[in-house]
């Protein structure tokens, strides 16, 4: 039996840092269940030298493939094997970074979702998706139907995915377009930007954006490119935009009912995210491939976990529950206790 200790990356948010060990314990436990075939044991938070770690044991010394999976944990900073004398022996990590991580960190605005939590939500959702094993041999395609200013889109891009987003607020749509196109120019990436009006009933109802880019000219000429597709529209219209099952995963951070209201109809706002979901879920699910996973984070102060799980089941998804899946709840501030739930579309 080999023992390991995972050193956690510091987080700028004090409250998130306080709960990071428990969150990463749950994240690693999900990875162990879904990807590592239960090869890890005794996964638990621990403190070494006054610093938070996640400690675990493996049947044997971990293989390169196992370390590769651990490298992408949301708060992984350094990994050590604990030798017989209790000394920490470094194990090199190699996280996926198809693009520079400043794509994730440059943007700062009120209401931005913590980047480490966004990565955690990605990781546990992908762990449940039947299509995750296709990566990296095949570029996955992920939808955020409530993408805001694009934190989740950027995480998908860093992982090397093609990403789609739906955002009803024109200011958020414009902000992401401006930021991302300027970022590509700063990096001197070869790219093309296509914008077009979105028409409904003979009127302009929003905008569409498609950005195609490669990290250099050779990638671009070889069509080894990534694509960002963004729709400025109500997410309840997702079925209009995506009529076939094309997504390997759907990931969304639901409105918290505090600073932003959910919009279930173009002319109405509500602080009840279940109304938004009841109107939008069928369109989202119709765009998912069989076996794909949906990961949602939300404020439990405005929607109980059991109610959300029941709602997802009623729309034909199979929620992942029990053990580590139920251990992601954490406090964001006095008005928000955030949790996540992952559900899969039956094959």
User: Distance between CA 80 and CA 296 in Å, rounded?
Assistant: 32
Give the mean model confidence (pLDDT) for residues 170-181. Answer: 96
Q: Which residues pair with 318 in a beta bridge?
A: 344
Tokens coding 102 = 């400043």
Please give the average per-residue pLDDT across 21-36, as a whole number: 95
pLDDT category, 15, cuts 50, 70, 90?
confident
**Lowest-pLDDT range, 135-139, 281-285, 296-300?**
135-139
What does the pLDDT read at residue 12? 64
Write down the CATH superfamily of domain 102-344: Vaccinia Virus protein VP39 (3.40.50.150)
Q: State the CATH class of domain 2-91.
A: alpha beta
pLDDT in tens, 76-86: 999 999 999 99
The pTM for the full model equals 0.92
- In the chain, where the domains are located: 2-91, 102-344
Reading the block at residue 77, the tokens are 């900073």
Q: What are the pLDDT digits (tens) for 227-271?
A: 999 999 999 999 999 999 999 999 999 988 654 434 444 434 444
pLDDT at 258: 54
Q: What is the pLDDT of residue 329?
A: 95
Query: Which tokens is 2 given?
Result: 């080999």
Average pLDDT for residues 29-50, to the nearest whole number?
A: 95
Average pLDDT over every residue of 53-75: 93
Q: Which residues contact 58 (CB under 8 A, 6 or more apart)?
A: 1, 2, 4, 39, 40, 41, 66
**What number is the average pLDDT over the span 73-94?**
95
**Distance between alpha carbon 328 and the CA centroid of its chain, in Å?**
14
pLDDT, tens digit, 9 for 90 and up, residues 97-116? 999 999 999 987 776 788 99
What integer pLDDT is reported at residue 266 of this predicted model? 42
pLDDT of residue 91: 97
- Tell which residue, 102, 97, 96, 95, has the closest CA to residue 184: 102
E-strand stretches of the chain = 2-8, 40-48, 51-58, 76-82, 88-91, 141-144, 162-166, 190-200, 203-214, 226-232, 247-253, 262-265, 268-270, 288-299, 318-319, 330-333, 336-344
Using the predicted structure, report yes or no on whether residue 156 has a pLDDT greater than 70.
Answer: yes
Q: Is the model's pLDDT at 344 over the cut of 80?
A: yes
DSSP one-letter code for 323: G
């Amino acid at each position: 039996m080999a023992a390991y200790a995972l050193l956690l990356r510091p987080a700028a948010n004090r409250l998130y840092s306080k709960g990071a060990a428990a969150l990463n314990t749950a994240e690693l436990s999900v990875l162990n269940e879904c990807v590592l075939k239960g090869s890890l044991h005794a996964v638990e938070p621990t403190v070494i030298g006054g610093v938070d770690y996640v400690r675990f044991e493996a049947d044997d010394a971990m293989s390169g493939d196992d370390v590769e999976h651990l490298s992408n944990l949301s708060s992984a900073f350094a990994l050590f094997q604990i030798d017989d004398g209790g000394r920490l022996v470094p194990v090199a990590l190699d996280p996926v970074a198809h693009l520079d991580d400043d794509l994730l960190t440059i943007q700062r605005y009120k209401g931005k979702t913590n980047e480490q939590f966004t990565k955690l939500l990605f990781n546990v959702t992908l762990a449940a998706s039947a299509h995750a094993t296709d990566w990296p041999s095949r570029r996955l395609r992920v939808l955020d139907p409530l993408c805001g200013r694009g934190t989740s889109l950027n995480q998908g891009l860093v992982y090397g995915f093609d990403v789609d987003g739906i955002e009803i607020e024109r200011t958020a749509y414009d902000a992401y377009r401006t930021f991302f196109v300027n970022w590509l120019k700063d990096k001197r990436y070869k790219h093309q930007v296509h914008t077009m009006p979105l028409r409904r009933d003979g009127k302009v109802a929003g905008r569409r954006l498609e950005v195609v880019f490669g990290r250099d000219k050779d990638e671009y000429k070889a069509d080894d490119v990534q694509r960002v597709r963004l729709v400025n529209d109500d997410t309840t219209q997702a079925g209009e935009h995506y009529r076939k099952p094309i997504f390997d995963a759907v990931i969304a951070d639901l409105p918290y009912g505090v600073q932003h209201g959910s919009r279930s109809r173009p002319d109405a706002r509500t602080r009840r995210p279940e109304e938004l979901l009841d109107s939008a879920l069928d369109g989202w699910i119709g765009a998912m491939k069989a076996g794909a996973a949906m990961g949602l984070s939300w404020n439990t102060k405005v929607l109980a976990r059991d109610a959300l799980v029941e709602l997802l089941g009623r729309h034909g998804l199979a929620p992942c529950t029990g053990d580590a899946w139920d251990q992601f709840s954490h406090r964001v501030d006095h008005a928000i206790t955030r949790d996540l739930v992952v559900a899969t579309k039956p094959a």
